[in-house]
Structures are given as C-alpha cells and as structure tokens.
Amino acid sequence: MPEQNITQQKFNRLIESKNWFNQSDSVVVAVSAGVDSMALLNLMMNLPKKSRPKIIVAHVNHHLRTQSAEEEQYIRDFCQSHNVKIEVGNWEEQFHPSNGIEMAARKYRYDFFSKVVKDTNSRILLTAHHANDQAETVLMRLIRGSFVKDLVGIKESRKFNDGRLIRPLLGFSKEELTQYMQTLSIKWYEDDTNQKLDVTRNRIRHRLIPLIEAENNRGIEHVNDFSHQLNSMKKQNDFFFEKLAKDISVDTNIFELGAFLKLPKYVQTGLIDYLIDQEVVDGLNVDIVNQVTSLLNNDEKPQGVVELSNNLSIKKEYDKFLIENIHQNQITGFKNDYFVVTLNKWYFEDDIQWMITDNSEVSYDGTRRVSRFNLLDSELPLIVQKTQNRDRITLKNGGHQTAKRLFINKKIPVDKRQSANSLMTDQGRLLAILGYSESVSIDNSNARVYTLIIK
C-alpha cells in the first residue's frame, strides 16, 4: 500500500472520530510553504468528500528572508491551480521591531489568522504542529523549568476567538509527513532559520532529538505518550481543584485567605496554579506561582500584588485574595507603594523599559544598562517600591551610597527623584534604583543568576 495512502487513511480516521468540523464548515489552514503545513493542506484537500470542509489557506509573508517572496508566490500558484481560496498577510519590514522579533512575528501571524477566521465566517483554525514539535516543546519546558502539568506540551485543541484552534497532526511524526509529501511529489520550502543553533528549540531539534532517536527509534513516540499520561493526570487534578476553589471562594474570583493557608503548601501551590490556569491561556513560569504562594504566606505583608500576563494580577488584601484585571503600569496604591515583580515581563516607567529575567537567551539589543544578580530562592519574590533617601546601593569596594547622595552626585532633578523606584529582594536588600544605579552582586555558589535589563 503506498505510503501516502497509509498516512491519508490515518488522517481520515482521525478527522472522522474527532467531529471537529463537517462538510458545511469553512476551515482556515495556516500554511507557510514548509513540509509540515503543505502536508496538512494536502491531507485536508484529500479528505473524503463527506468529511471535507471548505478550505481557506492563510499565509503570512514575514519579509524576514529573501526567499519569502518566492514562497508566497508558490503558495498563491498552488492554491490557484487547486481552486483553493487564499488570504495573504504581509508583515512589512518597516514594522519589524529592533528586538524580540520572533515574538512580534508570532503576534502578527496569529492576529492575521484571527482576522481571516472572522472575515471568512469560519470557527476553526488548523496549524501543522506535529509529534516532533510536541516532543521538542515537552523537552524545552522541562529544561527551562515548568510545572509538571505544563509538560503536557501543545494542546490538540484550544479556544481561539469564538471558535477553536486545532492541531490535527500531533499524532504524526516529521518523518511520516515528509515521506507523505515525497510520495505525492509535491514541492515544499525549507526555512534556513530553523538550522540556526542560537535558538533553544533548534538546538533541541538538531542535537537532542537525534540522540533520543538513536537511543530508541520510538523515543519521540514515548515522550508524547508521557505527555498524554500527564494530560490525563492534569484533568484528574483539575477536577479536585475545582471543588477546592469553590470551598474557599467568597465571591467570583475572590477567596478566603485563612482557609487557603490551612491547606498544605503543596496543595496551595497546585491550587494557585489551577486558578491562574483558568484565566491565562499560555502557561506561566514556576517562579510566578511560587511568588504568589510566598506573598500569601507572608504575615509581614498584609497587602501585595503579583502581576500575571493578559493584564491580570493576583492581589492580597488582608483576609482575602483575588484575581483582577489591571492596567500594565498600575501600581496598586498600597501603604508602602510596592508591587511584586513578575519575572521575564517588561515594565514601562517614564522614559525606561525594564525586565528581570532568568532566561540567558533574552536579546540585549537596544539596552541602556544590563546588570546581573546572584540571588537565593529565599530572596524571592523581588519587590519594587518608591525610592527612599535612605536606600543604600552596594559599591564595588564593599561600601554603600545612599539614594540621596546618588541623586545629588548625578544632579537628578527633584521631580525625577520623587518618581524613582527601587528594586529590592523580599528580605529588603536593595538591588537597583531603576535607571540610575545597581548594587554590586554578592557571589554565592548556591545562588541563581538573574539579569536586570534596562532600555
């Protein structure tokens, strides 16, 4: 039996069993011209008529490579020859940022997909993430440090606008899809940026994955089986955390702190992670959940806030805590005017942009100042509060300089002094007067390195 028929029949059975869409639906397929998305497009085009929806191809020309224009024209010609509707988005070079280009490109891409889904009255977006992508994601999250539940990797289906984003190829390997395309004798393009080893995913793809496959030719399959088992465990845990959240809630997204603190620490951490997961689409770093748990257990801080993503925060207010919407620059007006810092998130204040990160791969393009601190887990979470005249920066010679003296020496205007903020450890050690000066880090073999980036 020809290889493409085996793969096609496997795909046909999947579509028939899932009931994601039917013949009367319009489905948007994201196509880049690479082997994965071209395979997805052809698998969809070759579905039995009773299962085949109307297909709309969505292609984005990112204008990041000289080959982009050729790829766009190829996709246009392919769709025209097969009578498939196509929508093309162009991310012009003038809109490319000087740094963070991968994240910006992803945002443009999904904003465009969202527009195509809406404009075509569709409710389904299909992307070509496959089994190797899944294994790479699981391994990358394991290496970077994620909660166990996040090791389930890429979700097969999730909410997208008023419909669903579906990844039907997660059960198909890269090799399987490549053989399918070779048998069909259909052209595709290779993205040379996928070979660059300065990107974590590429290093996992080209260095770690081959070692796993050499050790066991079913290694990728086993990583994905592990992910499926974790997904089942997560569903079990969520069932019980939902009941627990109801037990301690006093209103919508408001919870009784005393009842929460009676729970064992390992249950507290899981419950906070569950509550955040209900509000935030993308998984958060382990450290953020630990920051929330630390704040809620700190008797010396009856009030405080930890900012999450999607303009959300968890706020502690004496005998309760709550999840609420915030503005990006909102400082909550607590007695001491402080907030808890979220790692790997940009903050904007007056004429500076800053971030504390534990990610060694963050781009430093366009930075004004970069400082590194060796911090123990006991010194987290980090706090930002209004700078006091008595705040003291640690100097290279081991001495100290007060904020007042620093401002005088640098001839900082009074209004700027009054708006200055200090970055401090949870134990009150001053790390930086943001935008003006940083303390010299204390060497400690047990500490982790955190980087302060200021633009």
Residue 149: predicted pLDDT: 66
Residue 355's region, left for phi above 0, alpha for psi from -120 to 50, else beta, is: beta
Residue 328: predicted pLDDT: 38
User: Which residues sit opposite 28 in a β-bridge?
Assistant: 56, 125
Tally Cβ neighbours within 10 Å of residue 109: 18
Residue 218: predicted pLDDT: 86
CA pair distance 29, 37, nearest whole angstrom: 8
SS3 307: strand
Residue 320's region, left for phi above 0, alpha for psi from -120 to 50, else beta, is: beta
Residue 329: predicted pLDDT: 39
Fold of 252-340: 3.30.465
CA pair distance 362, 160, nearest whole angstrom: 28
Give yes or no for a contact between 344 and 358, defined as CB atoms under 8 angstroms apart: yes
Residue 335: predicted pLDDT: 38
Per-residue tens of pLDDT for the chain, all 455 residues: 444 489 999 999 999 999 899 999 999 999 999 999 999 999 999 999 999 999 999 999 999 888 899 999 999 999 999 999 999 999 988 888 776 677 788 889 999 999 999 999 999 999 999 988 888 888 887 877 666 666 777 889 888 888 899 999 999 999 899 999 999 999 999 876 666 655 677 788 888 888 888 888 888 888 888 888 888 888 898 899 999 999 999 888 899 999 999 999 999 999 998 888 777 645 555 677 888 899 899 888 888 888 776 567 888 988 999 988 754 334 333 334 567 888 878 887 767 888 888 876 666 666 678 888 888 877 877 888 888 888 888 888 778 888 899 989 888 888 888 888 899 887 778 899 988 989 887 776 677 888 888 88
Give yes or no for a contact between 434 and 385, defined as CB atoms under 8 angstroms apart: no
Residue 327: predicted pLDDT: 47
Residue 45: predicted pLDDT: 96
- Token look-up 């590194």 returns 372
User: Which residues sit opposite 81 in a β-bridge?
Assistant: none
Q: Where are the domains of the chain?
A: 3-225, 252-340, 347-454
Q: What is the DSSP letter of 85?
A: E
SS3 337: coil
CA pair distance 268, 262, nearest whole angstrom: 9
The b-or-e profile of 361-391 (16+ CB within 10 A means b, else e) is: ebeeeeeebebebebeeebbbbbbbebeeeb
Give yes or no for a contact between 282 and 296, defined as CB atoms under 8 angstroms apart: no
Strand bridging mode 392-394 / 448-454 = unpaired
User: Which CATH number among 1.20.120.530, 3.40.50.620, 2.40.40.20, 3.90.1150.10 corresponds to the domain 3-225?
Assistant: 3.40.50.620
Which residues are within 8 A (CB) of 157 and not within 5 positions of it... i.e. 6 or more apart?
Answer: 20, 164, 165, 166, 167
Kindly state the helix (H) or strand (E) to which residue 423 belongs, with its residue range: strand 421-424
Give yes or no for a contact between 90 and 121, defined as CB atoms under 8 angstroms apart: no
Residue 145: predicted pLDDT: 66
pTM, two decimals, is 0.60
Token pair listed for 20: 């994601």
Give yes or no for a contact between 8 and 46, defined as CB atoms under 8 angstroms apart: yes
Residue 267: predicted pLDDT: 95
Which of 318, 308, 437 shows the shortest CA–CA distance to 371? 437
Strand bridging mode 421-424 / 430-433 = antiparallel
